[in-house]
Every structure is written in C-alpha cells, then in structure tokens.
Structure 1
C-alpha cells in the first residue's frame, strides 16, 4: 500500500485494521463516483460498517470522523434522489416510542448479553422528546449512544435496538435534526 490514509496507533496499541478500512473506503469511493448503483453502498452501510482491531492500526476517532462525513454525503445524495416513504419510517419510529418502558424491544435470552433496559428506554424518551417536542438531541447523540450490559431477560436484545436506532438516525437526518 502507499501512504497511510490516517494516523496509526503505534506498535503497542490497537486501532482499526488498515486493510479493511482502505478496502471499504475504496469501495465507497467507487460507488460515489459511479452515482450509487443499485446494490452499492448506502448511508446505512457507512453507518454500520465495522472493522477488526489490530496493533498499529488506524486511529479509531480519525476513521470514525471520516465515516461520519462520508455518511452525511451519502444521506444528502439519497435525499436528493427522492423521499421513498419517509413519513412511514417516521410513523414506525414514533410507534415504537409509544410502547411502555421495558416493552419496546425483545428481551434477551437466558444467560445472553444485551443492552440494559433502563438505558435504552431513557434514550427512547429523549428521542421522543426530540421528535415530538423539538427538544435538543443530535444525530451524533443517537449514533454514539452507549448502553450498559443487561444480562438475560434484564436486557433488550442488541440487534433490534441497533436496527431501530439506525432508523431513528435516518428520520432525524431527513428532518434536518
């Protein structure tokens, strides 16, 4: 490979796998330059991409910051392409928020790890206040939210929560939040 795209962490610290980052960014650039062919990378792919951690990898904050900017660009392009059914997406997000605390998402399985229910429900209250009342919450607040571990049925399963938060981010972006 040629010059590094980002600063490295050093030999004794871990960062994102350089090769994986470079391959993803090359693919994103090809899709961007080609106008975004069907089946290509979307803002969702950029938001949910994950990389392995390696010694002497790329510094995580630098890569994450670049991914945020790339995601913003893809969202902007997707919005110009036409609002597919944004109102339906917003209605689905709001409907989940109307559920009672502790009942918004599927519970974890016996001995499994998930997200602490109280933490997720608190973020859901903040999302509701933002979407309904216009109270301050940013896309980055949702995108970078962290939850404590909830074991077994004392936690929500991670995948449905993560998928829902992706939809919340989409709705907030489309609203210009």
Structure 2
C-alpha cells in the first residue's frame, strides 16, 4: 500500500509505519471529501499515532502534514458552523471553549496540573507554567501566540513532584491548539 507520500528514513533509523500512515491519510482525504462512512474530526487527527519501524516515513514530515491536516479540518468546521449559525455565534462558542481553559490557567505556578507519579519522569513545571503564562497573555492582552507555537513547544524533564504528569498537560494544550486554530 505504501505510495511514498512522505520521505523515508534509512533502514537503520525508525520512522512511522508507511502502511499505517498511508491508510490514515487516505481515510482523512475520503472523510474530508465526504466520501467516507466513518467521519473524522480534528481531535482524531490530534490523537493519531503510528507504529515506529525501521525505514519508515520521516516523523517530522508526517507530523507537519498532520498539523496542516488538522488546521484544514478546523477551518472546514468553522466554515460549516459559520454558514449555519453566523460568525458571531462561532466566536461565542470559541470564547466558551477558551473559558474552559481558564480554571487551570488561574492556578498558582507549580500547581496547574497533577504532579508526575512518584519516581516517574514528567514535564518540567517551570516550562509548562511559562507556556501557560503565554496563553494568558494571548487571551487577556492579545499578545501574539500561534497554534504552531503551542504544538511545537517542548518541555524539560523532571521526576515525580518536580514535574507535571504528561497526559493532562498534553490534553490541555491540545484543547488550547483547537481554540487558537479556530481563531487563525
């Protein structure tokens, strides 16, 4: 099935399984064009994962394509919503989604998310809190921030109580990306 949608890595390195990626993007194209019985959402794209195999597709290329695909799905969702309910209604719904983020953003530094389990590695609290502050700046003071910047953010590593558990942080910023994409 591999149709070389993306560049591949050498047989000595790992990349995403070509067949899985090809199948996913084929389904995404069909869903976007309305030719699939199984719908796809931007959330499905955000949570897509692929097996790592030797000689697979270049992960950076695929991840960049997933980002563009997610943006296309959000843009289409926005277009459909606006055509049915109007621009003002879209912005109101988007503002409501943004408000769901505020509870966590208002928490004190170092307490915004659950700590990483004892002895396990999590995200550095200072790094995560700094990105949360940028998000507050975006919402409250219209400071520049893009969905791509949120997606591309990386956090240092910390163990146990010195770090945040990764899953809640990832889920939170995935929602924040959706909000920013809805505005962009």
TM-score scaled by structure 2?
0.87
- Pair 1:157–1:148, CA change in 2 (3 A): same
Instruction: Report the secondary structure of 2:15's partner residue.
Output: strand
Is contact 2:124-2:163 (8 Å) kept?
yes
**Structure 1: gaps of 5 or more residues:** none
The CA distance in 2 between the partners of 1:99 and 1:35, in whole Å, is 45
Equivalence for 2:8: 8
- Pair 1:78–1:36, CA change in 2 (3 A): farther
- 4+ long deviations beyond 6 Å: none
The CA distance in 2 between the partners of 1:132 and 1:35, in whole Å, is 41
1:128 aligns with 2:136: yes
Q: Deviations over 1:54-97 (max 9, x none)?
A: 11111122212221221111001111232483222111112321
How many angstroms does 1:48 deviate by? 2.5
The CA distance in 1 between the partners of 2:113 and 2:9, in whole Å, is 37
Q: Deviations over 1:146-168 (max 9, x none)?
A: 11112111111111111110111
Q: Deviations over 1:24-78 (max 9, x none)?
A: 11221221122776x6221122122122221111112221222122111100111
Equivalence for 2:97: 89
Query: Superposition RMSD on alpha carbons, in Å?
Result: 1.9
Is contact 2:31-2:39 (8 Å) kept?
yes
How many angstroms does 1:113 deviate by? 2.0
Instruction: Report the secondary structure of 1:68's partner residue.
Output: helix
1:112 aligns with 2:111: no
1:42 aligns with 2:41: yes
Equivalence for 1:141: 149
Equivalence for 1:172: 180
The CA distance in 2 between the partners of 1:159 and 1:126, in whole Å, is 20
**Structure 2: gaps of 5 or more residues:** 82-89
- Pair 1:2–1:120, CA change in 2 (3 A): closer
Q: Deviations over 1:101-157 (max 9, x none)?
A: 011111122112211111100110111112211212221110111111121111111
Instruction: Report the secondary structure of 1:85's partner residue.
Output: helix
The CA distance in 2 between the partners of 1:112 and 1:60, in whole Å, is 26
